[in-house]
Amino acid sequence: MRILICGSMAFDTIMVFGDRFRNHILPDKIHMLNICFFVPEMRREFGGTAGNIAYNLKLLEGNPVIMATVGDDFSSYTTWLEQHALETTHIKQIPGTFTAQAFITTDQDDNQITAFHPGAMSECHQNSVHDAQDIGLAIIAPDGRDGMFLHARECHEKGIPFMFDPGQGLPMFNGEELLHFIEMAAYVAVNDYEAQLLLEKTGLTLDDIASKVKALIVTKGAQGSTIYADGKLYEIPCVKATQVVDPTGCGDAYRAGLLYGIAQGWDWPVCGRLASVMGSIKIASRGAQNHLLSREEIQNIYSQVLVDETLSQHIAEETRA
């Protein structure tokens, strides 16, 4: 099944400051701040919601179709996508713009100062879902405001079930607008903070939202995730990672697992476990697209997770007895 991934493509420039911001920012001088941080360590990563989700779907041997807008500086990213056999047909270059990018400076306490330039992402409404053929499933991930509205409406008009994933774009919309997205969507995916914000803006409860879609997915980091579907609540445990290196892109990896499971017609516990496996694989690698596993390796990890869960349940039952 061809899965349309509507979202951002971005470069992430990460710089590491070898001290603490608080040692260099004087509280009584905030009104006249003029400071320079020496950052001897720097790296540039490929990112963006659409790029990250598509990359993880490809690892699962899914069939992602990226729809995004990019700038004149995108050539190195194009090469990366082609090296990983990711389709670029619906990635539109906007002349005279930069690709969206984040400049992130991190100190020794893991505090961050981030500057984000949306660039070509703001023109994502120049793409149309109607131009993509044979799409069976879609996701509307964080992107330009106008484009998110347009692509959700076009998916709805074409009868393409889509997952609404507002992410960091959620503050752009008021309650009425978010309700409209929910009414059109087949699935809604948010983290626990975004879930609370969504409830505050719409005045709905989690059960209210779940009743309007096929499934509501709420991720909770190390506490796992919860899937509200079929009138039931599925608690999905977190999968322990081999090591915790970098959480950047974990949510996108999780969503790729969900989309793959939905496309296969799997039940929600299976979809949720696969999504958790994808998140655990990602967090063990620096950057959002540097983990490289075959589908067979992912399947082996998933199988081991099932064995571990069964063993844990057996031990718990024996303890209670």
- Compare 318 and 238 and report the one with higher pLDDT: 238
Percent helix, strand, coil in the chain, to 5, is 45, 25, 30
User: Is the pLDDT at 314 greater than 70, yes or no?
Assistant: no
- Compare 23 and 152 and report the one with higher pLDDT: 152
Confidence (pTM): 0.91
Catalytic residues: 252
Question: Cα-atom radius of gyration of the chain, to the nearest Å?
Answer: 20
For the chain, what's the residue count? 321
- Tens of pLDDT, residues 86-116: 999 999 999 999 999 989 898 888 787 888 9
Give percent of the chain above pLDDT 70.
95
Strand order of the sheet with strand 215-219? 87-93, 63-70, 2-6, 135-140, 162-164, 187-191, 215-219, 225-229, 232-236
Give percent of the chain above pLDDT 90.
76
Cβ atoms of residues 275 and 254 within 8 Å = yes
User: Is the pLDDT at 321 greater than 70, yes or no?
Assistant: no
Q: How confident is the model at residue 63 (pLDDT cuts 50, 70, 90)?
A: very high
Among 194, 139, 206, residue whose Cα is nearest residue 168:
194
Across 10-14, 112-116, 164-168, 290-294, least confident range: 112-116
- Compare 26 and 42 and report the one with higher pLDDT: 42
- Tens of pLDDT, residues 263-303: 999 999 999 999 999 999 999 998 899 999 999 999 999 99
Q: How far apart are CA 139 and CA 128, in angstroms?
A: 14
Distances (CA, A) of 29 to 17, 26, 104, 241: 21, 5, 23, 42
The mean predicted confidence, pLDDT, of the chain is 92
Phi, psi dihedrals of residue 37, rounded to the nearest 5°? -105, 130
Give the chain's domains with CATH numbers.
2-12+43-309 (3.40.1190.20)
Q: What is the pLDDT of residue 316?
A: 53
Distances (CA, A) of 79 to 73, 75, 85: 12, 6, 10
Average pLDDT for 72-97 = 97
Q: How confident is the model at residue 313 (pLDDT cuts 50, 70, 90)?
A: low
